[in-house]
């Protein structure tokens, strides 16, 4: 069976992302991920003789009475988690004014988290969404499953379409019955409704917002034809007008502040970054927040 050029290019991209993501998950995030995302609780492991420094409250009085010397109960963290990657593939993610598109950064972030989870023997699943759930990949363990997620993410073609968070949140709630840890990786274009409040109460939700600098700071390029990838509508804007640039900047800042205030109100962990930022630092910052909990 022969591969066509598109298949070959896709495999090369998958392999490139795999090498980078595995390296980051091994060298940078292995310890931090485990500390930041703890298990669901503690489970009984064994009983052993009391040793100096053991907590008195851990003594098993029944066993101690039977053998006439103190024994303590040993508990282990119930380590296995289910990680869901909720990945925005709406039309607006196919934008980038510098070296990389937002969707390329989103893919690398998703891959890094997936391999970090896999190396800790956690299950990883994914939902690709726009204004609806485009693709659901059930949670499974293993590197080969992570590669499938990357492959699907790279192969999925979505150049237009709005962003809606309501339907994907409802979908995850319907298919994932037990509490899981979800990473919402998006550019944040779209309104968060009451579905976010309901979802964040049932699942552990972290948001990673990826934007391009030009989406806030319009450059002075004169009269420019803009295309809104979410609505697929085009319009002219005079970027040479200082008041227009200032209005746009203030509008975007207000949007971001509204989102951040909502995340804070719900007690959600979140991090925002630009396509030109080092996303490893953003993930380290996110993980560090959780380690302090």
Per-residue pLDDT tens digits for 136-181: 999 999 999 999 999 999 988 765 667 889 888 999 998 998 889 9
Sign for the pseudo-dihedral over CA of 145, 149, 154, 156:
positive
The string of DSSP letters for 208-219 reads: EEEE-GGGTS--
- For residue 135, give the nearest of 117, 122, 150 by alpha carbon: 150
Tell me: do 200 and 68 sit in the same domain: no
Q: Tell me which residue has tokens 């209005």.
A: 247
Question: Three-state DSSP class for 28?
Answer: coil
Residue where a domain terminates, one of 16, 51, 77:
77
Q: What angle do CA 254, 192, 246 make, to 5 degrees?
A: 20
Residues lower than pLDDT 70 in the chain = 1-6, 27-28, 30-32, 35, 38-46, 75-79, 158-161, 291-293
Tell me: do 219 and 270 sit in the same domain: yes
- For residue 136, give the nearest of 146, 145, 128, 144 by alpha carbon: 128
Number of domains in the chain: 2
Q: Biggest alpha carbon distance in the chain? A: 88
What's 241's domain CATH number? Answer: 3.40.50.410
Tell me: do 66 and 150 sit in the same domain: no
CA–CA distance, 169 with 165 (Å, rounded to integer): 6
Domain with 25, as residue range(s), is 5-35+81-291
Among left, alpha and beta (phi > 0; psi -120 to 50; other), residue 235 is beta
Contacts of 224 (CB under 8 A, 6+ apart): 236, 237, 238, 239
CA–CA distance, 253 with 257 (Å, rounded to integer): 6
Tell me: do 145 and 273 sit in the same domain: yes
Which helix (H) or strand (E) is 71 found in, with range?
A: strand 71-77
Contacts of 252 (CB under 8 A, 6+ apart): 215, 216
CB crowding 4-18: b at 16 or more within 10 Å, else e:
eeeeeebeebbeebb
Tell me: do 66 and 186 sit in the same domain: no
Q: What is the pLDDT of residue 57?
A: 82
Residues pairing with 273 in the sheet: 210
Range list of H helices, 98-165: 102-119, 143-155
Q: Which two tokens stand for residue 74?
A: 């040993």
Q: What is the pLDDT of residue 213?
A: 94
Tell me: do 144 and 242 sit in the same domain: yes
Tell me: do 179 and 55 sit in the same domain: no
Q: What is the pLDDT of residue 158?
A: 63
Give me the phi and psi of 168, to 5 degrees please.
Answer: -60, -40
Length of the chain: 293
Tell me: do 63 and 160 sit in the same domain: no
Q: What is the pLDDT of residue 268?
A: 92
Q: Which two tokens stand for residue 72?
A: 């303590």
């Amino acid at each position: 069976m022969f591969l066509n050029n598109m298949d070959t290019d896709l495999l090369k991209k998958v392999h490139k992302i795999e090498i980078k993501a595995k390296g980051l998950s091994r060298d940078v995030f292995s310890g931090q991920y485990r500390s930041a995302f703890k298990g669901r609780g503690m489970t009984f492991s064994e009983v052993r003789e009391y040793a100096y420094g053991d907590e008195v409250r851990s003594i098993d009085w029944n066993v101690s009475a039977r053998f006439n010397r103190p024994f303590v109960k040993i508990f282990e963290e119930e380590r296995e988690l289910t990680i869901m990657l909720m990945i925005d593939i709406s039309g607006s993610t196919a934008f980038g004014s510098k070296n990389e598109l937002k969707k390329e950064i989103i893919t690398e972030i998703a891959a890094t988290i997936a391999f970090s989870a896999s190396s800790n023997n956690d299950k990883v699943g994914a939902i690709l969404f726009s204004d609806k759930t485009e693709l659901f990949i059930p949670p499974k363990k293993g590197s080969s499953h992570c590669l499938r997620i990357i492959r699907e993410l790279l192969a999925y073609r979505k150049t237009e379409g709005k962003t809606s968070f309501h339907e994907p949140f409802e979908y995850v709630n319907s298919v994932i019955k037990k509490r899981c840890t979800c990473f919402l990786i998006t550019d944040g274009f779209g309104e968060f409704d009451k579905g976010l409040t309901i979802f964040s109460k049932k699942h552990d939700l972290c948001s990673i917002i990826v934007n391009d600098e030009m989406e806030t700071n319009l450059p002075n390029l004169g009269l420019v034809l803009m295309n809104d990838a979410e609505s697929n509508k085009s319009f002219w804007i005079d970027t040479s007008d200082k008041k227009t640039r200032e209005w746009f900047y203030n509008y975007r800042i207000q949007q971001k502040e509204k989102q951040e205030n909502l995340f804070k109100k719900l007690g959600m962990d979140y991090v925002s970054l630009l396509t030109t930022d080092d996303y490893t630092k953003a993930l380290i910052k996110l993980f560090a927040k959780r380690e302090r909990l």
